[in-house]
């Protein structure tokens, strides 16, 4: 009886073991290197500010997002494309107002080194098709 019970316990274990492939490479998402809370020091043409924000995985496989309060503390979730340890912030617009038509336009790039994400970015304030403000920023984000 004990031998039969032991066989019942051993057989399922043996059946599971072959399913573990030693050559199987675990999936790796490079965005995981970026995810977390950061202390931000923003040095912009108009001054310096410090704040905290969360970097999260965005909608697409190669994107991260900068959560509230967002870059430049605008309140918008700016996204960036991850290419290894570098990021690209493609041109993206966020409407502030429809009458008059005002929106922010973000673009830039950055790199991750250890726990520090350094980003050079530009914010345009556009009103009725005219650039009303053009601000260049250099942000240092230190993961907490």
In tens, the pLDDT along 65-107 reads 999 999 999 999 999 999 989 999 999 999 999 999 999 999 9
- The overall average pLDDT reported for the chain is 89
- Of residues 8 and 69, which shows the higher confidence score? 69
pTM above 0.75, yes or no: yes
List the domain range (segments joined by +) for residue 107: 28-143
The reply to whether 111 falls in a domain is yes
Work out the burial of residue 10: count CB atoms within 10 Å of its CB; fewer than 13 is exposed, 13-18 middle, 19 or more buried.
Answer: exposed
The reply to whether 22 falls in a domain is no
The region, left, alpha or beta by phi > 0 then psi within -120 to 50, assigned to residue 70 is left
Question: What domain count does the chain have?
Answer: 1
The reply to whether 20 falls in a domain is no
CATH of the domain at 105: 2.40.128
The reply to whether 40 falls in a domain is yes
The string of pLDDT tens digits covering residues 18-55 is 555 667 777 889 999 999 999 999 999 999 999 999 99
Residue 12 has pLDDT above 80, yes or no: no
């Amino acid at each position: 009886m004990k031998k039969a019970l032991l066989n019942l316990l051993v057989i399922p274990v043996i059946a599971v073991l072959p399913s573990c492939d030693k050559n199987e490479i675990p999936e790796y998402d490079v965005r995981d290197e970026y995810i977390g809370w950061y202390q931000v020091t923003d040095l912009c043409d108009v001054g310096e500010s410090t704040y905290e924000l969360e970097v999260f995985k965005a909608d697409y496989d190669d994107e991260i997002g900068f959560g509230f309060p967002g870059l430049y503390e605008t309140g918008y979730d700016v996204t960036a494309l991850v290419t290894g340890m570098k990021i690209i912030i493609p041109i993206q617009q966020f409407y502030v107002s429809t009458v008059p038509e005002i929106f922010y336009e973000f673009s830039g790039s950055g790199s991750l080194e250890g726990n520090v994400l350094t980003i050079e970015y530009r914010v345009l304030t556009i009103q009725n098709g005219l650039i009303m403000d053009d601000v260049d920023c250099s942000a240092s984000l230190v993961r907490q």
